Structure 1
Amino acid sequence: MSEHPGGVLLKVAYDGTHFRGWASQKGGERTIEDTLKGAIMAVDARASAPRGTSRTDRGVHAEAQMVAFDATLPLPPRGWVLAINQHLPDDVCVRAARLIPPGYVPRFAAKGKRYRYRLVLDRIRDPLVMHRAWRIGFELDIDKMRREAQSIVGTHDFAAFRSAHDERQETVRTVTRVAIEPDDLHGLDLHGRILSIVIEGNAFLHNMVRILVGTLVDVARGQLPEGTIARALEGRDRRLSGATAPGHGLTLESIDLLLPSEMVGEPWPQ
Structure 2
Amino acid sequence: MSEIEPRGVLLQVAYDGTNFRGWATQKGERTVEETLKGAISAVDARASAPRGTSRTDAGVHAEAQMVAFDAKLPLPPRGWVLAINQHLPDDVCVRAARLVPTGYAPRFSAKLKRYRYRLLLDRIRDPLVMHRAWRIGFELDIEKMRREAAVIVGTHDFAAFRSASDERKETVRTVSRAILEPTDDIHARGRILSIVVEGNAFMHNMVRILVGTLVDIARGRLPEGSMARALEGRERRLAGATAPGHGLTLEATELLLPEEGVSEPWPQ
2:182 is aligned to: 182
**2:133 paired with 1:98:** no
1:115 is aligned to: 115
SS at match of 2:49: coil
Shift of 1:264: 3.9
Q: Does the aligned pair in 2 maintain the 1:4–1:75 contact within 8 Å?
A: no
Q: Does the aligned pair in 1 maintain the 2:129–2:187 contact within 8 Å?
A: no
SS at match of 1:209: helix
Partner Cα distance (2:112, 2:120) in 1? 27
- Output the amino acid matched with 2:153: V
1:12 is aligned to: 13
Stretches of structure 1 that go unaligned for 5 or more consecutive residues are none
Question: Structure 1 runs of 4+ off > 3 angstroms?
Answer: none
1:224 is aligned to: 222
Q: TM-score, normalised by structure 2?
A: 0.97
SS at match of 1:144: helix
Partner Cα distance (1:13, 1:22) in 2? 11
**2:189 paired with 1:191:** yes
Q: Of residues 229, 236, 239 in structure 2, which corresponds to 1:238?
A: 236
Shifted more, 174-183 versus 189-198: the winner is 189-198
- Output the amino acid matched with 1:25: Q
Q: TM-score, normalised by structure 1?
A: 0.97
Partner Cα distance (1:190, 1:108) in 2? 37
Partner Cα distance (1:173, 1:255) in 2? 16
- Output the amino acid matched with 1:23: A
Partner Cα distance (1:178, 1:264) in 2? 32
Instruction: Count matched residues.
Output: 265
SS at match of 1:81: helix
Question: Percentage identity across aligned positions?
Answer: 83
Stretches of structure 2 that go unaligned for 5 or more consecutive residues are none
2:22 is aligned to: 21
Q: Does the aligned pair in 1 maintain the 2:128–2:187 contact within 8 Å?
A: no
**2:181 paired with 1:169:** no
Shift of 1:190: 2.2
Q: Deviation digits for residues 10-43 of structure 1, max 9, x if unmatched? A: 00000000000000002x2000000000000000
Partner Cα distance (2:54, 2:252) in 1? 10
Partner Cα distance (1:211, 1:246) in 2? 9
Partner Cα distance (1:80, 1:37) in 2? 13
Shift of 1:192: 1.4
Partner Cα distance (2:262, 2:216) in 1? 48
- Map 1:33-182 onto structure 2 (within 5 A): 33-182=33-182
- Output the amino acid matched with 1:241: A
Q: Deviation digits for residues 119-150 of structure 1, max 9, x if unmatched? A: 00001100000000000000001011101111
1:263 is aligned to: 261
**Aligned Cα root-mean-square deviation (Å):** 1.0
SS at match of 1:215: helix
Partner Cα distance (1:264, 1:153) in 2? 33
Partner Cα distance (2:54, 2:8) in 1? 19
